[in-house]
Amino acid sequence: MRYSGWQVIAKGLRGQRGWQPAWRDPAPKLAYQVIIIGAGGHGLATAYYLAKNHGITDVAVLERGWLGGGNVGRNTTIVRANYHLDGNTEFYSHSLKLWEGLEQELNYNVMMSQRGIINLAHSDGQMDFYARRGNAMRMQGDDAELLDRDRVRRAYPGLNHDNPRFPILGGLRQRRAGTARHDAVAWGFARGADRRGVDLVQNCEVTGFRIERGRVTGVETTRGFIGAGKVGMAVAGRTSQVAQMAGLRLPIESHVLQAFVTEGLKPVLPGVVTFGMGHFYISQSDKGGLVYGGDLDFYNSYAARGNLPMIEHVHEAGMALMPMLGRARMLRHWGGIMDMSMDGSPIIDRTPIDGLYLNGGWCYGGFKATPASGWCFAHLIATDRPSPHAMRLRLDRFETGHVLDEEGTGAQPNKH
Amino acid sequence: MRLTCPLCGDRDSREFSYLGSATLSDRPADDAPFDAWHEYVHLRDNPAGPNAELWHHVSGCSAWLHVVRDTRNHQVLSIRLAEEGA
Ligand SMILES: Cc1cc2nc3c(=O)[nH]c(=O)nc-3n(C[C@H](O)[C@H](O)[C@H](O)COP(=O)(O)OP(=O)(O)OC[C@H]3O[C@@H](n4cnc5c(N)ncnc54)[C@H](O)[C@@H]3O)c2cc1C
Ligand SMILES: [Zn+2]
């Protein structure tokens, strides 16, 4: 069924009867040409683009829990393309362009809202750095504007501009950045993949690989063995465990990141604001809730919930930036397990095992990458060559010294 | 989460700073093969379960601690001074 405004009205007049499930719930077949592990945003987008761009439809996405229950449904939904290193800039630029056409592409409302982002600056050094970063973004063909103090003040009167420790001196704005409805992104790609013949198999955990003479031939699962010509891993926080079943040891640690939302308020924040000095970022959802987050808990974790000290720390940073936050009631908070890579940048590459491909290391920022990650991973799996948009997201860059150390924090995943 | 420092006793986790896997105290020799350095700097077991790791009691006695902690639930299984060796 094609979704349209007309369908909404027609079905509404008939008491919302006649809607069909957005995707099938098939039992796994004995074998597939391609298996993708993980029905998060990246796995689902990969399946979609395998079918759409490469005509490969004999594909299954295997998910241990329910579709969209991982980080794709837990993030603070910020979409942006404001990176400064070659290797990252072209990738995120491609992603933002895909976001801009995603709703038409998927015939699904992902509520992509280009409300803009401002990274705040508090020192001359930071202003210089943002000028450089903005230039890198423009060289890539994306938009960037350096704002002075007054322009930030006009755009966001509700912030504490005269904090004695971190006065706001200006900022870097990208107008094409914004937010999207995270669940809808998973559901839209799921529906699109399903309609092209991909099997989405939930409650099906991959528990091992079958590897013969250096080549993967299928996966062991809680629903039995499933054969495959090629297998792609897109399991985010579980990347190390799944790769370990194939004997791989990766430059990744898993850490918990928390997020928070307040009760619904009248509009106070027109776009996304990041406060780097407190590593705090905030936006306002369409329902009015303030959605915000901060640092990792800072130690390896697979507990999909956070601890209290970081909750306190995030709120201290939030109060420093936006004292009105203290009047809002926090409704919910939650955590997700992040695959933190050693240089803070992602990996989309082959592995030493033939037919086994790796998509991981997304750190804090894999939601914005969802469409491009799927696009590039599908290209890699279909052609065995990296997509031109992801040439440098290589697994061997740590060995060769071509790291993408966007934040300048080196080989310390808990510092990114 | 609380950690029991062998020197200071039971303390709030906020007194400690986390470095990472305890493999970081097995530093390869300066002239060790390149692969050994790559593994040391970049590769991690990253287990979901007991993990041996290094914590620094920065706001306490300043000792480096070797802690075995279950990464699924933050239960601390053992703590000793890192200088006591493996
Ligand atoms: C609190 C928080 C805030 C964030 N904020 C932002 C943000 O503002 N902007 C941004 O760009 N990014 C953000 N991120 C990061 C982003 O959400 C992730 O990088 C991204 O969602 C990861 O890719 P994914 O969607 O494919 O992961 P997931 O949705 O986690 O998908 C992985 C799937 O693999 C499944 N799986 C794991 N192991 C197995 C197995 N053995 N067999 C079968 N299936 C398995 C899991 O169940 C899961 O469904 C945030 C993350 C968190 C936690
Ligand atoms: Zn101590």
CA A35 to chain centre: 21
End-to-end CA distance of chain A: 43
End-to-end CA distance of chain B: 24
Extract the runs of DSSP E, i.e. beta strands, from A42-101.
59-62, 78-79
Task: Check if the beta carbon of residue A122 is closer than 8 Å to that of residue A153.
Answer: no
> CB of A262 closer than 6 A to ligand 1?
no
Whether residue A399 and residue B38 make contact (CB cut-off 8 A), yes or no, is: yes
Summarised one tens digit per residue, pLDDT across range A232-251 is 999 999 999 999 999 999 99
Instruction: State phi, psi for A72 to the nearest 5 degrees.
Output: -60, -30
Task: Check if the beta carbon of residue A67 is closer than 8 Å to that of residue A39.
Answer: yes
Instruction: Report the pLDDT value the prediction gives residue A222, as an integer from 0 to 100.
Output: 98
Whether residue A253 and residue B20 make contact (CB cut-off 8 A), yes or no, is: yes
Report the nearest atom of ligand 1 relative to the CA of A204. Answer: 43
Question: Tokens 């297998």 map to which residue?
Answer: A231
| A334 class by beta-carbon count within 10 Å (0-12 exposed, 13-18 middle, 19+ buried) | middle
* Cα–Cα nearest to A92, from A405, A396, A393: A393
Whether residue B44 and residue A411 make contact (CB cut-off 8 A), yes or no, is: no
Max Cα distance, chain B (Å): 41
Q: Can you give the length of chain B in residues?
A: 86
* Cα–Cα nearest to A130, from A169, A179, A177: A169
Helix (H) or strand (E) segment spanning residue A207: strand A206-212
What is the token pair recorded at A31?
């074998």
Is ipTM strictly over 0.90?
yes
What is the token pair recorded at A131?
């000028």
Extract the runs of DSSP E, i.e. beta strands, from A43-144.
59-62, 78-79, 117-121
Enumerate residues 6+ apart whose C-beta is below 8 A from A166: A122, A275, A277, A278, A320
Instruction: Report the pLDDT value the prediction gives residue A415, as an integer from 0 to 100.
Output: 87
pLDDT tens, chain A, 416 aa long: 899 999 999 999 999 998 999 999 999 999 999 999 999 999 999 999 999 999 999 999 999 999 999 999 999 999 999 999 999 999 999 999 999 999 999 999 999 999 999 999 999 999 999 999 999 999 999 999 999 999 999 999 999 999 999 999 999 999 999 999 999 999 999 999 999 999 999 999 999 999 999 999 999 999 999 999 999 999 999 999 999 999 999 999 999 999 999 999 999 999 999 999 989 999 999 999 999 999 999 999 999 778 999 999 999 999 999 999 999 999 999 999 999 999 999 999 999 999 999 999 999 999 999 999 999 999 999 999 999 999 999 999 999 999 999 988 888 898 88
| A9 class by beta-carbon count within 10 Å (0-12 exposed, 13-18 middle, 19+ buried) | exposed
For residue A345, the chain B residues in CB contact (below 8 A) are: none
Residue ranges in chain B whose pLDDT is less than 50: none
Instruction: Report the pLDDT value the prediction gives residue A294, as an integer from 0 to 100.
Output: 95
Decide: helix, strand or coil at residue A1.
Answer: coil
Q: How far is CA A96 from CA A81, A260, A371, in A?
A: 6, 25, 8
The residue type at A337: I
| A333 class by beta-carbon count within 10 Å (0-12 exposed, 13-18 middle, 19+ buried) | middle
Task: Check if the beta carbon of residue A317 is closer than 8 Å to that of residue A278.
Answer: yes
* Cα–Cα nearest to A358, from A377, A340, A374: A377
State pTM to two decimals: 0.97
Instruction: Report the pLDDT value the prediction gives residue B86, as an integer from 0 to 100.
Output: 60
What is the token pair recorded at B23?
């493999």
Decide: helix, strand or coil at residue A274.
Answer: strand
Domains of chain B: 2-26+47-84 (3.30.2270.10)
CA distance A319 to A308: 17
Summarised one tens digit per residue, pLDDT across range A196-233 is 999 999 999 999 999 999 999 999 999 999 999 999 99
> CB of A42 closer than 6 A to ligand 1?
yes
Determine which residue's CA is closest to atom 19 belonging to ligand 1.
Answer: A366
Domains of chain A: 23-78+182-251+343-400 (3.50.50.60), 117-175 (3.30.9.10), 252-261+273-341 (3.30.9.10)
Select from A207, A239, A242, A302 the residue whose CB has the most chain B CBs within 10 Å, as the one to mutate to test that interface. Answer: A302
* Cα–Cα nearest to A96, from A191, A175, A188, A189: A175
Whether residue A307 and residue B53 make contact (CB cut-off 8 A), yes or no, is: no
